[in-house]
Structure 1
Amino acid sequence: MKLGRIKLLQFFLPGDPAMGDAVRGLVGKRSAVMLANHGPVVAGKDVEAACNAAEELEDTARLAMMLRGMNARGLTEDQVQALVTKFDVEWDD
């Protein structure tokens, strides 16, 4: 894989400054990271390179999950409740 080893960061609520700090802490060390339950953050020398990196990461992740028989990991009930509370949305089970 052209992107090298991809780091999976823990789940953060949207807008949590700690998410930015976690990504910033990897600058220069990784060309891409995965934010748990959010998706990829990629870097490239230009927009086209970043888009290519995002496509490669998505395809590689899909293949890895299929070959390993893995399922997508959803949010826990506590994480869903934190989102509902933070963004004041209705959520029916």
Structure 2
Amino acid sequence: MTDPRTDLAVAGARLAALGLSPGSSGNLSVRVDDRILITPTGADLAEIDPDGLSVLGLDGAHLDGPRPSKEFPLHSAFYRRDAGTRAVVHLHSRNATAVSCLPPWSRRSAVPPLTPYFVMRVGQTPLVPYAPPGDAGQAEDLARLPFPFRAALLQNHGPVMAGPTMARAVDAAVELEEVSALLLALGERSPRLLTDEEARVLAEKYDAPWGER
């Protein structure tokens, strides 16, 4: 069994190497029993110290370690929303952040079903209305959305993904950045999207959250 602290540090280094975490932006967390281990405020994801993580309760209470990222309410919201969530990744990756500044495709997903891998690995990705970084009210808005999802775009801010493992959350982050790049590259063109039926079949096969527009 791998160590969740090490998994978190390795994931941070991978995301930074891919260019998805500019500067000291972004934050990662893992859930271990009734505790959340999260990157400290101002942490560089390329150089995370596995022994220097902040420790929180599921309610966001700071229990140990350095001061946590101010985005901890988002992480706590995902863990409270779904008991199966074991990792959360929040980034300021360029393309997904650009899409967060555009009108959403639908109420349930800012991003349309452009590729099968988006549906399979990410699923519907709602746009959460703008709030200042770290805003607890925005996290509560996310927690109360009445449909399933494992990823969201924070308006004018960036993506946040949850997963049953850190590896799954990272894969979702990479896939969301890729489909966002494709969407931006298409510009004003009207691309063929997957049909409702095509998306439904993929979602059922890969246990991905997806609903009709």
Question: Which among 11, 17, 26 is matched to residue 130 of structure 2?
Answer: 11
Question: Which among 157, 166, 172 is matched to residue 38 of structure 1?
Answer: 157
* Corresponding position: 1:53 with 2:172: yes
Which stretch of the first structure deviates more once superposed, 57-66 or 25-34?
25-34
Q: Write the deviation string for residues 8-53 of structure 1: whole angstroms up to 9, x where unpaired.
A: 1111111221111122124861111000121111111111110000
CA distance in 2, matches of 1:28, 1:50: 19
The aligned residue for residue 181 of structure 2 is 62
TM-score (norm: length of structure 2): 0.30
Which stretch of the first structure deviates more once superposed, 3-12 or 26-35?
26-35
Letter in 2 for 1:40: P
User: How many residue pairs get matched?
Assistant: 70
Secondary structure, aligned partner of 1:12: coil
The aligned residue for residue 85 of structure 1 is none
CA RMSD of aligned residues (A): 2.1
Give the percent of matched residue pairs that are identical in Structure 1 and Structure 2: 33
Q: Write the deviation string for residues 33-84 of structure 1: whole angstroms up to 9, x where unpaired.
A: 0001211111111111100001101111111111124xxxxxxxxxxxxxxx
CA distance in 2, matches of 1:65, 1:12: 24
Secondary structure, aligned partner of 1:57: helix
Superposed structure 1 runs of 4+ greater than 6 Å apart: none
Listed as ranges, the gaps of 5+ residues in structure 2 are 1-117, 189-213
Secondary structure, aligned partner of 2:163: coil
CA distance in 1, matches of 2:165, 2:145: 19
Structure 1 residue 5: Cα displacement:
2.1
Letter in 1 for 2:127: L
Letter in 1 for 2:133: P
The aligned residue for residue 74 of structure 1 is none
Q: If you compute each CA radius of gyration, which structure gives the higher value, 1 or 2? A: 2
Q: Report the structure, 1 or 2, having the larger helix content.
A: 1
The aligned residue for residue 76 of structure 1 is none
